Amino acid sequence: MTATADAVTQFTVTLKIERFNPDAENPQSYWQEFQVPAEGTDRLLDALHKIKWDEDGSLSFRRSCAHGICGSDAMRINGRNRLACKTLLKDLNPDKPITVEPLKGLPVEKDLIVDMEPFFASYREIMPFLITDGTEEPTRERVQSPEQRAIFDDTTKCILCAACTASCPVFWADGQYFGPAAIVNAHRFIFDSRDEGGDQRLEILNDKEGVWRCRTTFNCTEACPRGIEVTKAIAEVKRAMLTRAF
């Protein structure tokens, strides 16, 4: 592949997609290859659109904003969890087939679509909202210094794509572990100076399927498309459990 200032690089890429049709007579996953014309600016999501719109309308996958904000198009690309909308084809060595699979550890509904309910169930359990004593309504905003905000700023970036949780071998093992994303979102409130529910969240996570299941493999940090230091956040929640009384 070569490019000039006056032309956009064009090439053909092979996508090897793991497919699954629950309505088939004998539902089993299988691989299917597609030859897709592409340009140097195309993302994997663009290639999936070309297949769905021009070759096989039955191909199923999730996507929404297409700009790395909604988190809906996380999938396993060449063995790594990524967002299809943020992954350029030219960065995936298009001279070789590009493998595309659904996220690992979550039930597959169809093709690249997984059931996100186990993921969101853990998210809901850590109470991802501001908790106060509620004795009186505030008459002004809850003031917070830049230094206080900086303590948890990193974990506010989560877009709930599940890339981190679906990269975790502990989560793969039984699916009961809260998972990195739930702990990251708990961290976001545990260390928020305006919140008064930190001890409740620590108690929830001090469970056999809570933070102590983390084996610090750093898969989650490597998978996060937002660059969150996930493993560091989990370690900070563990430390808070040891230093706070609840």
**Residue 182 carries which side chain, given as an amino acid letter?**
A
Residue 146: pLDDT band (50, 70, 90) is very high
φ/ψ of residue 41, rounded to 5: -95, -5
CATH code of 10-114, in short, is: 3.10.20.30
Please report the pLDDT score of residue 7 as a whole number: 65
CB within 8 A of 124, min separation 6: which ones?
A: none
Residue 6: pLDDT band (50, 70, 90) is low
Mean pLDDT within 206-235 = 96
Q: What is the location of CATH 3.10.20.30 in the chain?
A: 10-114
Q: What is the location of CATH 1.10.1060.10 in the chain?
A: 117-243
SS3 state at 18: strand
Residue 176: pLDDT band (50, 70, 90) is confident
Please report the pLDDT score of residue 139 as a whole number: 86
**CATH class of the domain whose range is 117-243:** mainly alpha
Q: Above pLDDT 70, what percent of the chain?
A: 96
Average pLDDT value over all residues in the chain: 94
DSSP code, position 7: B
Q: What is the pLDDT of residues 60-111, one digit of tens each?
A: 999 999 999 999 999 999 999 999 999 999 999 999 999 999 999 999 999 9
Edge-first strand order for the sheet with 10-19 is: 30-39, 10-19, 98-101, 74-77, 80-83
pTM of the model as a whole: 0.91
